Amino acid sequence: MAGARACSWKRKKQNPLEDTLIIGLAVRDKQSVDTIADVGGGINSGEINGRTAAEAPDPTSGGCTLAIAIDDGSRIDVNVLGEDVNDACDVARDIAYLVEPRLPKP
């Protein structure tokens, strides 16, 4: 991903009719949560375990990005691409609560 160190995982389908699910993490060393882009579904601001966070659903792709502050000038994005934007955001929130305790303390 441009400007980020990233990794991703894709669920192996047992059945070709199963929904696709791709989960990615992207560390953005020089971008704060405030710079997350609205990709068509608005920006939902909030917190993950006390850290500033913002969610950007993408209704066109069925994806969701949830940005969590590492410090004032950096963030980690939890990116989920699925078939349904609401399901993708639910998965992104679940992953965010798993990732946040492993982040460096601000």
**Residue range 48-60, pLDDT digits in tens:** 999 999 999 999 9
98 phi and psi, to 5 degrees?
-80, -35
**Residue range 48-97, pLDDT digits in tens:** 999 999 999 999 999 999 999 999 999 999 999 988 999 999 999 999 99
Cα angle 99, 83, 103 (rounded to 5 degrees) comes to 10
pTM of the model: 0.90
Amino acid, res. 96 = A
d(CA 106, CA 69): 9
d(CA 75, CA 71): 7
Q: Minimal CA–CA distance to 94: which of 82, 104, 106? A: 82
